[in-house]
């Protein structure tokens, strides 16, 4: 009888230990994943006629110590997807912003009907992959004001047929540091990211 009680207590202890280890393992797994989480900054989007711009943002790589990702004189690349939903061809002919001396579009920016463009992606992603697409580089050249993560900046895209589309582009927030508190607003900057229709 005593042996039976000892066996029952030992079995209960083993079961309890296994449950504790399982719960502890789940917690450790969650903690282990935390440093690997990637913070994604939603891009701006808008439409003019049959042309839609999606996931448009100012991107960067490297460390950010004070929230400033580009300083006056730097070139700031853009990430975006453009889709021509119409049947007539169109072309992204220019990009401009009051915070840069000029904008450049490098590559074949022509879009037959049903085709599109992607710019600024290291690797094509599902949201930016189209059956027919051209890859281009779109850059704001010689920015004239510090560009800070967490703010938005006005950028206008000029299409040969559809016309001009102005959006407030967010700046990508670094995944490895907390989003910085912005100082006084910079000229042409707003502190609330805009992802809807253009103003």
pLDDT in tens, the chain (199 residues): 544 444 444 444 444 434 433 334 443 333 333 233 334 678 999 999 999 999 999 998 777 777 889 999 999 999 999 999 999 999 999 999 999 999 999 999 999 998 999 998 875 554 445 557 889 999 999 999 999 988 999 999 999 999 999 999 999 876 554 444 444 444 554 443 333 444 3
- The predicted model scores a pTM of 0.67
Closest CA to 73 of 142, 149, 169, 147: 142
């Amino acid at each position: 009888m005593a042996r039976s009680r000892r066996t029952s207590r030992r079995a209960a202890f083993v079961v309890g230990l296994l449950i504790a280890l399982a719960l502890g393992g789940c917690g450790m797994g969650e903690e282990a994943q935390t440093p690997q989480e990637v913070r994604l900054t939603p891009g701006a989007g808008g439409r003019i006629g049959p042309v839609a711009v999606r996931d448009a943002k100012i991107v960067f790589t490297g460390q950010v110590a004070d929230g400033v990702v580009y300083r006056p004189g730097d070139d700031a690349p853009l990430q975006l997807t453009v889709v021509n939903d119409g049947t007539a061809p169109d072309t992204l002919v220019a990009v401009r912003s009051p915070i840069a001396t000029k904008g450049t579009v490098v590559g074949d920016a022509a879009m037959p009907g049903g085709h599109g463009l992607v710019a600024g992606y290291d690797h094509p992603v599902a949201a930016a992959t189209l059956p027919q697409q051209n890859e281009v580089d779109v850059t704001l050249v010689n920015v004239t004001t510090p560009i800070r993560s967490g703010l938005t900046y006005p950028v206008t895209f000029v299409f040969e047929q559809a016309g001009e589309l102005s959006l407030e582009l967010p700046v990508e927030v670094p995944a490895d540091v907390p989003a910085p508190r912005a100082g006084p607003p910079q000229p042409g900057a707003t502190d609330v990211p805009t992802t809807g229709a253009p103003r």
